Amino acid sequence: MLKKLRHPAEERENMFTIDAHLDLSMNAMEWNRDLRQPVMEIRKRELGMTDKPDRAKGTVALPELRQGNIGLVVATQIARYVAPDNPLPGWHSPEQAWAQTQAQLAWYKAMEAAGEMVMIKTKDDLDSHVALWQNGAPNDDKPIGYILSLEGADSLVTLKHLETACEYGLRAVGPAHYGPGRYANGTDASGKLQPAGKELLREMAKLNLILDATHLCDDAFWDALEIFTGPVWASHNNCRALVNHNRQFSDDMIRALIERGAVIGGALDAWMMVPGWVRQQSTPEAMQCNLDKMIDHLDHICQLAGNALHVGIGTDLDGAFGKEQSPYDLETIADLQKIPALLAKRGYSSADIELIMHGNWLRFLCQAW
């Protein structure tokens, strides 16, 4: 399946790429962005809007995915439930959160009907889609393949809802997001899995769903790895050794993921890339936050692993932030094509660069499915 590079210096510039974390439907349904339009058109339409801090600063749209040869993504549904004492933004009942994820699903289906996207649910789907994107033809009319993932499980009203979601195509679940959750505690929270979270993980294993360890707090992370028997990845996570925050993975956590055969996607949210970032004050230029900083995180994981088999790309671009909180040398997501040259400067071989850009995610999915 993995095509070997015949002319590495030339083909690196437009290498087939997988992004393992994009909140596409959230942008469509909550930010009201028509992602069929180019990024610059979306920015133009948002000029003067102040309801979101990243208005007119977006980086992701379907044309730019095609431009960047990013033919396969892990695309999310996301809707947080918040209890009355939880100050985070979110929905006030699990049923409302579920309804929001169904609206997001309806958007993906609308994109499929328009020929813009195609859901990837099986190994056969994966093989044929990768072959399409590697056939040498222009990308202009190719659908973006997406693997459906649920970021935060709060919207699953019951385990029956998980089964329903699996039937309509859900293939990965991150039990937590930010703060305390119905199933697990996430970023900036603490505590082991809730009893319902343990049942969730057991049901996920039965359904052969992928566990996304991203956002699990430390207690829940170790609990989950002990309980869950299925495939594990971390779609968008960086290294605590470089940016000391509980959102990141410690070296011990990274080693545990490596032992489980996980792949960890490097994220491009600036505060996760460089230490000392102050939200809505720091700027990428002043903090010297560029794409090379993500390479630092990927390289750290590779050094712990002793190889390049456990890292990939999981940008989280436009995950409620835009250019104001992205690497300064990235104008749109198409600039992921700058990464192969940066890896080559670090001494990574053509084969390892190919693994990082897409090969590790493909191998993981083939083994999981």
Tell me: the pLDDT tens digits for 67-105? 999 999 999 999 999 999 999 999 999 999 999 999 999
Strand partners, 19: 73
CA atoms within a 13 Å half-sphere pointing along the CA-CB vector of 263: 27
**Residue 267 DSSP one-character state:** P
Q: What is the CATH number of domain 9-368?
A: 3.20.20.140
CB 314 within 8 A of CB 265: yes
**Residue 178 DSSP one-character state:** B
* Residue (of 178, 176, 154) closest to 165 by Cα position: 154
Separation between Cα atoms, residue 327 and residue 62, nearest integer Å: 20
H-helix or E-strand spanning residue 55: none
The dihedral sign for the CA sequence 167, 196, 265, 226? negative
Q: What is the dihedral of CA 226, 120, 365, 230, to 10 degrees?
A: 20
**Mean pLDDT of the region 328-352:** 98
Least confident of 5-14, 165-174, 198-207: 5-14
* Core vs surface per residue 259-269: b (16+ CB within 10 A) or e: ebebbbbbbbb
Q: How buried is 180 (Cβ within 10 angstroms: 0-12 exposed, 13-18 middle, 19+ buried)?
A: buried
Mean pLDDT rounded to a whole number for the chain: 95
**Residue 359 DSSP one-character state:** I
Tokens of 110: 């609308």
* Residue (of 368, 360, 366) closest to 20 by Cα position: 360
User: At 3, which amino acid appears?
Assistant: K
* Domain boundaries along the sequence of the chain: 9-368
Q: In the predicted model, is pLDDT for residue 264 greater than 80?
A: yes
Question: What pTM, to 2 d.p., does this model score?
Answer: 0.96
**Mean pLDDT of the region 275-280:** 94
* Residue (of 17, 247, 244, 196) closest to 94 by Cα position: 196
